[in-house]
C-alpha cells in the first residue's frame, strides 16, 4: 500500500520505459461503482497472512533438474509450448469467484450463460464451428475438451448446459 492505494511494481529495462510526458494524460480512467465494489470484496475475501513456506520455486527446481541431467551427460529436451488460450472474461471470472465464496458482488444470478448455450438445443450446437464449441467447453470447464471431436464437444456442451 502506498498512499492508501494498492501498488504492484515490476522492473523494466531502459528501452521499455516511456517518458512520463508521453503516457500521463492528466486524466484518470473511469471505473464503474460495481467494478470497484467487486474488487474491494475480492480483496477483502482473499486477504490473509503470507506464509512463504507454503510455496515452492518450481521453476528453479525444474532448471536444477535439467542442469543435473546435462551434467550427467544426459540429453536435454526442449519442453513443448503450451497451447495458447484466449484471455478470460475478467468480470465473469470475478462474479464466479464471488459466487463460489458465497457472497456475490452483484444481485444478478447466473441462470443462463452469456453465450446462450444453457438454453440452446443440440441442433444449435451442431451448427457451431469446432472453435466456438471449444470456447464454450472451456467456459463450462469440460475436462478433456482439447482431444474431443466436434460431435463430442457438442454433446459435452449440451450435457453440461
Higher-pLDDT residue of 58 and 97 is: 58
Between these two residues, 37 and 89, which has the higher pLDDT value? 37
Full DSSP string of 6-20: --------GGGPPPH
Q: Which of 135, 39, 132 is nearest to 93 (CA)?
A: 39
- Per-residue pLDDT reduced to its tens digit, 7-26: 777 777 777 788 777 776 67
Per-residue pLDDT at 68: 92
Distance CA(43)–CA(76), nearest Å, equals: 42
- Local structure of residue 1 (DSSP, 8 states): -
Per residue in 97-145, pLDDT (tens digit) is 777 776 544 444 444 444 443 444 677 888 888 888 888 888 888 888 8
Cα gap 108→21, rounded to integer Å? 42
Give CA 122 to chain center in angstroms: 28
| pLDDT over 60 at 156, yes or no | yes
The model's pLDDT over 64-83, given as tens digits with 9 standing for 90+, comes to 999 999 999 988 888 777 77
Amino acid at each position: 500500500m502506498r498512499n492508501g492505494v494498492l501498488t504492484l511494481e515490476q522492473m523494466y529495462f531502459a528501452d521499455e520505459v516511456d517518458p512520463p510526458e508521453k503516457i500521463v494524460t492528466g486524466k484518470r480512467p473511469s471505473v464503474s461503482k460495481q467494478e470497484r465494489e467487486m474488487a474491494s470484496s475480492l480483496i477483502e475475501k482473499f486477504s490473509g497472512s503470507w506464509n512463504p513456506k507454503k510455496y515452492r520455486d518450481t521453476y528453479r527446481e525444474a532448471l536444477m533438474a535439467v542442469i543435473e541431467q546435462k551434467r550427467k551427460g544426459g540429453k536435454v529436451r526442449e519442453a513443448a509450448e503450451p497451447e495458447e488460450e484466449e484471455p478470460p472474461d475478467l468480470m465473469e471470472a470475478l462474479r464466479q469467484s464471488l459466487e463460489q465464496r458465497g457472497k456475490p458482488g452483484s444481485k444478478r444470478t447466473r441462470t443462463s450463460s452469456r453465450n446462450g448455450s444453457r438454453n440452446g438445443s443440440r441442433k444449435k450446437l451442431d451448427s457451431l464451428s469446432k472453435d466456438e464449441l471449444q470456447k464454450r467447453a472451456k467456459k463450462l470447464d469440460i475436462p478433456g475438451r482439447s482431444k474431443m471431436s466436434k460431435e463430442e464437444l457438442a454433446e459435452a456442451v449440451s450435457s453440461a448446459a
